[in-house]
Amino acid sequence: MSVIFRNEEIFPYPERFNPERFLDEKNELQQQKMIPFGVGRRACMGEGLAKTEIFLIIANLFKTYKITPATEGGTAPTDPVAEFRGLPTPQTVRVSLREGGCMLTYLLMSESIKFT
């Protein structure tokens, strides 16, 4: 896959760090040019593990922290707007520790890891 991402016809100056190369003129993600795990026989063997790890990390964040809109009173706007785009838009949120979230995580970790 690294050879594909170094093709100068598709990605000018492939050796330069330029994350914007995956965006089009409207700053939308170019889906046809982004293949992070490869395909076919040369597909990444760790794709399933990577996706599972990402899911577990995000689930743990939501379990440990309460994320609310950063508006006055912490209430959601009356007109929520759902947009599905290639790139997320910045949002202002308030993050607070859930009651017992940190301690629960510590206790679960200490119980599951035993040194002999």
Q: Which of 100, 90, 106, 109 is nearest to 66 (CA)?
A: 100
Give yes or no: residues 25 and 50 share one domain: no
Give yes or no for a contact between 93 and 69, defined as CB atoms under 8 angstroms apart: yes
Domain that includes residue 99, residue range: 42-72+90-115
In a domain, 83, yes or no: no
Give yes or no for a contact between 11 and 17, defined as CB atoms under 8 angstroms apart: no
Span 70-85, pLDDT tens digits: 776 656 666 666 666 6
Binding residues for heme: 44
Dihedral of CA 87/93/98/101: which sign?
Answer: positive
DSSP 8-class letter at 51: H
Tell me the pTM.
Answer: 0.49
Span 83-100, pLDDT tens digits: 666 666 777 888 888 876
Binding residues: 44
Give yes or no: residues 47 and 18 share one domain: no
